[in-house]
């Protein structure tokens, strides 16, 4: 306080002391002086809540195992949630907001499922609910959307937003691994869950992230379960063989867009990426997101989408914003609660990469109504189709099957 010789200090509580929670504490301590200058006050961790025993930790005095201690302490101004999942995180976050405390979280599942409700609750109680780390890990996305890009109507967002699948696809491309070998390598290095990697490899993690971005960009709630989601299990070494010779690659892409007529589309699926596209060079665990603004055009964000300190750094940036600006941050965050849209469809026309077995070149061309490119390898062929809608493609693949040619993989081409 001015003139008293006493310093104002923000008191922080961390819920969950795993990889990200411990990273938040590390960032706050290691960069303490710089953070104090940016926040205008010291950021001090008063509590860490975790049900495990940390009695031997050098910070044992900070640990509590009951959230009520934090909720009832008027000194705590910001709560950091890094538990993950929705139970009990949802209850804790709601309770903290209702207690008049800012909340910063890295929990994509929580935000994707309850973001609209929690933002409304934050506004009601005049606090901030921030979640930069829930989408791009350490890569900033949400802050630019509500800040420097606010003058734009964002027409589309496309992104590589899951580092695990990007690592696996890179290994498949560069080393000729099949899906199983690439997954085993990702698990060995700690990028993929050992017990159940489905959230990554089946696209659900990317689906939650694009649900968050779409909800923010278009102002209405997009439910993850409504987003058509396809993972990378069906991508094979043969697809990279063909892609390399077609001067392209394959990446798992999450996208959302609105056309001039206001039609909305959103999906997660592996896509065929021409070599000249910026996403073609995004490898290993890195993420990239491209936003197309109606004034700015295309702008791309690139960086580490996961990892202890990159993600923790995004959480700490949210803490600074929450402490400095509070509820006013929600003046540029519009996310209205809405009923399910039902299964979202995309009826835009795309060029498709199609790999088929037992090819008959002339019949392929006839069924597809012509092709832009075709090549054969062994008992398989790959073609680039003329532009088709998803509905048209489904009809074409049925016709191919009737002619004895099974479509093993069909990928949309991501245009520039």
**CATH number of the domain residue 176 falls in:** 3.30.360.10
Residues contacting residue 378 through CB under 8 Å, at least 6 positions apart: none
Q: State the Cα–Cα distance between residues 258 and 341, nearest whole angstrom.
A: 14
Place of tokens 């019949």: 363
Mean pLDDT, range 159-184, rounded to an integer: 97
Q: How many other CB atoms are found less than 10 A from the CB of residue 296?
A: 13
93 within some domain: yes
310 within some domain: no
Q: Is 406 a catalytic residue?
A: no
Residues 355/381, Cβ–Cβ less than 8 Å? yes
Q: State the Cα–Cα distance between residues 57 and 48, nearest whole angstrom.
A: 12
317 within some domain: no
Q: Which domain holds residue 238?
A: 150-304
> Shortest CA distance to 222 belongs to which of 333, 330, 111?
111
Q: Considering 11, 209, 304, 412, which one is annotated as catalytic?
A: 209
Counting the structural domains of the chain, the total is: 3
Q: What value does the mean pLDDT of the chain take?
A: 94
Residues written for the chain: 416
336 within some domain: no
Mean pLDDT, range 226-239, rounded to an integer: 98
* Token output for 275: 């070599």
Pair 67, 164 in one domain: no
Q: How many other CB atoms are found less than 10 A from the CB of residue 178?
A: 13
- DSSP-derived pairing of the beta strands 129-130 and 154-160: unpaired
* Type and span of the H or E element at 399: helix 390-402
Pair 195, 102 in one domain: no
The order of strands in the sheet holding 264-274 is 264-274, 248-258, 154-160, 286-293, 297-304
Pair 300, 364 in one domain: no
Pair 183, 270 in one domain: yes
Mean pLDDT, range 51-73, rounded to an integer: 96
% of the chain beyond a pLDDT of 90: 86
pTM of the model: 0.93
- DSSP symbol at 365: H
Pair 80, 212 in one domain: no
The order of strands in the sheet holding 407-412 is 371-377, 380-385, 352-357, 407-412
Confidence of residue 263 (pLDDT cuts 50, 70, 90): confident
Mean pLDDT, range 13-30, rounded to an integer: 97
Pair 173, 244 in one domain: yes
- Residue 370: how many CA atoms within 13 Å on its side-chain side? 5
Confidence of residue 262 (pLDDT cuts 50, 70, 90): confident
Confidence of residue 370 (pLDDT cuts 50, 70, 90): very high
Handedness of CA 408, 202, 351, 222 (dihedral sign): positive
């Amino acid at each position: 306080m001015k003139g008293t010789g006493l310093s104002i200090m923000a008191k922080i509580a961390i819920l969950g002391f795993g990889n990200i929670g411990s990273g938040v504490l590390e960032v706050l301590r290691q960069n303490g002086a710089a953070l104090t200058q940016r926040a205008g006050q010291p950021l001090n961790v008063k509590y860490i809540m975790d049900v495990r025993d940390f009695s031997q930790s050098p910070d044992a005095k900070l640990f509590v195992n009951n959230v009520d201690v934090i909720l009832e302490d008027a000194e705590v101004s910001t709560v950091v949630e890094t538990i993950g999942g929705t139970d009990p995180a949802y209850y804790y976050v709601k309770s903290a907001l209702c207690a008049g405390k800012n909340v910063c979280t890295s929990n994509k599942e929580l935000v994707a499922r309850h973001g609209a409700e929690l933002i409304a609750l934050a506004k009601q109680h005049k606090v901030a609910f921030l979640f930069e780390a829930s989408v791009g890990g350490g890569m900033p996305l949400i802050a630019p959307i509500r800040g420097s890009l606010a003058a734009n109507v964002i027409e589309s967002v496309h992104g590589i937003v899951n580092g695990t699948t990007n690592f696996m696809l890179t290994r498949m491309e560069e080393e000729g691994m099949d899906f199983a070998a690439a997954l085993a390598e990702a698990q060995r290095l700690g990028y993929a869950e050992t017990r159940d990697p489905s959230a990554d490899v089946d696209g659900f993690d990317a689906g939650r992230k694009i649900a968050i971005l779409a909800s923010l960009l278009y102002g209405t709630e997009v439910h993850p379960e409504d987003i058509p989601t396809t993972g990378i299990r069906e991508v094979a070494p043969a697809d990279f063989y063909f892609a390399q010779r077609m001067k392209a690659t394959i990446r798992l892409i999450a996208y959302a867009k609105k056309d001039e007529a206001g039609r909305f589309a959103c999906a997660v699926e592996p896509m065929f990426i021409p070599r000249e596209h910026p996403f073609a060079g995004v490898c290993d665990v890195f993420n990239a997101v491209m936003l197309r603004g109606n004034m700015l055009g295309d702008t791309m964000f690139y960086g580490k989408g996961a990892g202890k300190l990159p993600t923790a750094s995004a959480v700490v940036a949210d803490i600074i914003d929450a402490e400095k600006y509070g509820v006013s941050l929600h003046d540029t965050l519009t996310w209205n609660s809405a009923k399910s849209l039902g299964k979202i469809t995309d009826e835009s026309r795309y060029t498709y990469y199609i790999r088929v077995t037992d090819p008959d070149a002339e019949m392929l061309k006839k069924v597809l109504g012509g092709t832009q490119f075709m090549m054969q390898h062994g008992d398989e062929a790959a073609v680039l189709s003329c532009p088709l809608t998803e509905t048209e493609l489904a009809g074409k693949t049925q016709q191919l099957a009737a002619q004895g040619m099974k479509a093993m993989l069909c990928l949309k081409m991501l245009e520039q």
